Structure 1
Amino acid sequence: MLRFLHTADIHLDSPLKGLESHEDAPVEQIRGATRRAFDNCIDLAIEENVDFLLIVGDLYDVDWKDYNTGLFFASRMGKLNKAGILVFIVSGNHDAVNQITRTMPLPDNVTLFSAKRAHSIRLEDLGVIIHGQSYGSRAVSENLALHYPQYEAGYCNIGLLHTSLTGREGHEAYAPCTVDELKSKGYDYWALGHVHKREIVADDPWIVFPGNIQGRHIRETGAKGATLVTVADGHVTEIQEYELDVLRWVTCPVDLSSCETTSSVYEAVQQAFAVELALANGKPLVVRLILTGHCPVHTQLCQRTAHWTEQFRGIGAGLGNVWLEKVKFQTSQMVRPEEVLEADMALTGLLQSIQELEFDGDTLAALVPELAALQSKLPPEIFIGEESFLHPSPEAIAELRGQVQDLLIAQLLQYGKVR
């Protein structure tokens, strides 16, 4: 019997995004998260006495800023070498051969597959043959799997491939291939990388994305880790998932439909945070809070979003190990606004105009002439990504429109009630 640990997408020293701007953020935990998660990986390999470790692409996030990243990795490979554990690596799109300009000698237990072609490494004493190919450049559109060799009888055949298969949301379509093409090779286990969410694609044979070992932003939620594989008589007999992350990202929806007071809102949020902490076994959490439901406090929420956000941040701080990444206010009125305004034709007409409000990025610039001038003076990076200053996606514009409508309607209803 033999065992190996399948990991991918380490993204060593990659920054975690979405927290460092907050004064209460756990800066040191954020900066060292990928290293500490990788330490957990090394410790697991040693504790489980695995025969070898697989790293299937994107060990590094980008070219090293200095040699500290390489020194850290080399020292951990040294620990595995002392434990008699081999390491096999293919590079991916983030650490392709032509992307990493600095190098460092590694212990003899580490093998990096060539980017020139797929090739095989035999471990005769273990009865294993490992097939793999690294990325030569960042964007690989070629179907690399087509050129992998067929299985060799008498061995447990393992394939290493950094790929998006036929496509996965949020990931570039690199080294595309189909499940049938992988199965046609006759391997016992396909160790995949590139997709950051764990997925068992097939179990005959096993085709597995282990996901990354540490979430780095709010789009990488939930437990992150590696897959421990057991082989007996040349065949995979068991796979087990192990959590390695040291800080977890979660989305936390809270229905406020039954909340009639501010204190009940606080209680609902605190309870939701406590549940998430328990599910993570007390692991530090970065939370995106999503408030939903038809609730009596909707107007109060819309009018003072900044105030409420700080209150919720305080609740997390009080629990310890909970940091608020963002609050999405998606509640709604208990009654239709038309019912509140009744026969006031002037206010009803204004309400209709607000409800029919439509705009996109160009319309915003037209509504606020200063916006275009401001955009030209700001650094371009703040316009990139989900959390950008003015994200151009239709979803983000729709969300912004909804927030504006909610705020205007809340103010209108309050005015209508006191007239």
Structure 2
Amino acid sequence: MVKFIHTADIHLDSPLKGLEVHDDAPVEEIRGATRRAFDNLIDLALEEEVDFILIAGDLYDGDWKDYNTGLFFSARMGKLSKSGIKVFIVSGNHDAASQLTKTMPLPDNVTLFSPRKPQSVKLDDIGVIIHGQSYSHRAVTENLASQYPQYDSNYFNIGLLHTSLTGREGHEDYAPCTMDDLKSKGYDYWALGHVHTREIISEDPWIVFPGNIQGRHIKETGAKGASLVSVEDGRIVKVEAFELDVLRWAVCQVDLSECETCEKIYDVVRQALEQALDQVDGKPLAIRLILTGSCPVHGKLLDQTTQWTEGFRSIAVQSGEMWLETVKFQTTRKVSLEEMFGEDNPIAGLLKSVQQIELDGETLFRLVPELSALKNKLPAEIQTGDESFLDPSPDKMEGLRNEIQELLIAKLLQHGGAK
């Protein structure tokens, strides 16, 4: 029997985003998460006595700050080499951005496929041939798969490729190709990388994204790991998913519709967070808390978000190894403005005016000129991504407008004497 591990998108030494600013966060655990997940990968390979490991791109996370990342990788490859385990790698878009990786010699048991054209490596002792091509630069937009050779009938054929296929949300459209492009090559297994969520595209032949081995932010929730593939008499008999991550990300949505007191809100949130922690098999948990529902204390929530957030953080750390990435207040009012004040009440008219506020990026920066000056001084990383600073896109502005409206309404209701 032949056994191999298919992994991808390791992003070695990539920082986990979203927890560093919190005083109670496990800083060292965050910094070393990708290394410890990679150690779990090495341990799995040794325990299962695999013949080889396939890394389908993005082993690294762009250019290194120094050589420590490469030295760490080389040391782990040395452990595999002592057990006769080979490693085959195609570079992906993040690897291609690195300069230091191009100068460090690879260990003897590691093969990095050429970026110039598809390359085929034969393992005659076990009857396997691996076809692959690395990225020559970061943004590869041509169909690399189309140039891969046809299968060799004398071997078990594997295609190793870093690709977005026909496109995946949240991932750049690199090395695009179709499932038919891959199937036309006649390979037995396609080991893909680039997409960070595990996905089995096909079982005839097997076409697999294993996902990354460690979630790095709130968009990478759930279990992360690699695939262990078993081959017998030239046929795949098993493809198993193994969890390798050391810290899990999750989104916890809590309905507060039935909560009429502050104490009840804390109780409901505590139960939800403890339940989420029970589902991660003892791993530390970074969680985004989203509060929803038509809530009787909606106004109090919006009026004191900082105090509520700190209260929820306290509940999280009391529950175990759990940290709140952020809290989203998305509750709504229990009753309409008309039910509160009637049609002709002056406060009702004022509140309706608040609801009609129109807001877009241009208007916001014109009304508050200081925001534009501040935005220009911020580093690029704060202005991009899921939680970028004052993103002027229509969706973000719509959400910001709604938040402002509801906050003003809550303030007016409070001063107007409404409960």
- Aligned mates of 2:210, 2:262 — CA distance in 1: 42
Tell me if structure 2 keeps the 8 A contact 1:341–1:348.
yes
Structure 1 contact 340–413 (Cα < 8 Å) conserved: no
Alignment of 1:144 onto 2:144: yes
Is 1:259 the counterpart of 2:259? The answer is yes
Q: Secondary structure at the match of 2:106?
A: coil
**Counterparts in 2 of 1:347 and 1:2: CA distance versus 1, 3 Å:** same
Distance apart, 1:380 and its partner CA: 3.7
8 Å Cα contact 2:62/2:97 also seen in 1: no
1:224-263 correspondence runs (5 A): 224-263=224-263
Percent of residue pairs identical: 67
Which residue in the other structure is 1:62 paired with? Answer: 62
SS at match of 1:95: helix
CA apart distance, 1:410: 1.3
Q: Is the 8 A contact 1:2 1:230 kept in 2?
A: yes
**3-state DSSP of counterpart to 1:121:** strand
CA contact (8 A) 1:90 1:135 kept: yes
- 1:42 paired residue number: 42
User: More displaced, 364-373 or 44-53?
Assistant: 364-373
1:359 maps to 359
Q: How does 1:186-335 map to 2 (within 5 A)?
A: 186-335=186-335
Distance 1:26 1:144 in 2: 41
The whole-number CA distance in structure 1 between the counterparts of 2:145 and 2:195 is: 16
Say if 1:377 and 1:109 are closer, same or farther in 2 by CA, change over 3 A: closer
Name the stretch that deviates more: 266-275 or 50-59. Answer: 266-275
Q: Counterpart of 2:288 in 1: which secondary structure?
A: strand
Which residues of structure 2 form unaligned runs of 5+?
none
CA contact (8 A) 2:50 2:85 kept: yes
State the match for 2:75 in structure 1. Answer: 75
Q: Does 1:402 align with 2:405?
A: no
Q: In terms of mean alpha carbon deviation, does 382-391 or 319-328 score higher?
A: 382-391
Shift in Å at residue 374 of structure 1?
2.6
Residues 302-328 of structure 1 deviation map (CA, whole Å, 9 limit, x = unaligned)? 110011000000011101211011111
Counterpart of 1:367 in structure 2: which amino acid?
Answer: L
Structure 1: where are the runs of 5+ without partners? none
* 4+ residue segments displaced more than 6 Å: none
Alignment check: 8 A CA contact 1:286 1:324 kept? yes
Could you tell me which residue of structure 2 aligns to residue 165 of structure 1? Answer: 165
- AA partner of residue 169 (structure 1): E
Letter in 2 for 1:77: M
Structure 1 distance, partners of 2:136, 2:106, is: 20
Give the counterpart letter for 2:388 in structure 1: S
- Distance in 2, Cα, partners of 1:312 & 1:292: 15
By how many angstroms is 1:29 displaced?
0.6
Partner Cα distance (1:276, 1:46) in 2: 32
Q: 1:109 — aligned with what?
A: 109
Separation (CA, whole Å) in 1 of partners of 2:102 and 2:96: 12
Q: Which moved more, 1:386-395 or 1:98-107?
A: 98-107
Name the SS for the 2:324 alignment partner.
Answer: strand
What SS does the corresponding residue of 2:330 show, helix, strand or coil?
strand
1:417 match: secondary structure: coil
After TM superposition, give the deviation of residue 176 of structure 1 in Å. Answer: 0.4
Q: Name which of structure 1's ranges 79-88 and 377-386 shifts more when overlaid on structure 2.
A: 377-386
Q: Deviations over 1:144-169 (max 9, x none)?
A: 00100000113110000000001000
1:414 match: 414
Q: Which AA in structure 1 matches 2:119?
A: H
Label 1:369 to 1:238 Cα distance change in 2 as closer, same or farther (>3 A): same
Give, in whole Å, the separation in 1 of the partners of 2:98 and 2:78.
25
Distance in 2 between the 1:72 and 1:245 partners? Answer: 18
2-structure distance, mates of 1:392, 1:122: 52
Q: What is the total number of aligned residue pairs between the two structures?
A: 419
Partners of 2:60 and 2:133 in 1: CA distance:
17
Contact kept in structure 2, 1:64 and 1:102, CA below 8 Å = no
Structure 1 residues 189 and 347 mapped into 2: Cα distance closer, same or farther (>3 Å)?
same
The separation in 1 between residues aligned to 2:236 and 2:379, in whole angstroms, is 51
Query: Is residue 384 of structure 1 aligned with residue 373 of structure 2?
Result: no
Structure 2: how far apart are the matches of 1:327 and 1:240? 35
Instruction: Give 1:282's aligned amino acid.
Output: G
Distance in 1, matches of 2:52 and 2:188, equals 16
Instruction: Please identify, of 205-214 and 374-383, the stretch whose mean Cα deviation from structure 2 is larger.
Output: 374-383
- Conserved in 2, the CA contact under 8 Å of 1:259 and 1:265? yes
Kindly indicate whether the alpha-carbon contact (under 8 Å) linking 1:337 and 1:413 is maintained by their aligned counterparts in 2. Answer: no
Aligned counterparts of 2:97 and 2:345: Cα–Cα separation in 1: 69
C-alpha contact (below 8 Å) 1:70/1:103 kept by paired residues: no
On the 8 A contact 1:97/1:136 being kept in 2, the answer is no
Return the alpha-carbon distance in structure 2 between the equivalents of residues 379 and 117 of structure 1: 38
CA distance in 2, matches of 1:333, 1:345: 18
Structure 1 residues 98 and 324: CA distance shift in structure 2, 3 A: closer
Report deviation, 1:125. 1.2
- Retained in 2: the 8 A contact 1:354–1:409? yes
CA distance in 2, matches of 1:113, 1:93: 14
Q: Measure how far apart 1:224 and its partner are.
A: 0.6
8 A contact 2:13–2:69 mirrored in 1: yes
Contact map agreement 2:340 2:418 (CA 8 A) in 1? no
Deviations 1:106-128 (A, max 9, x none): 33211111111101111111111
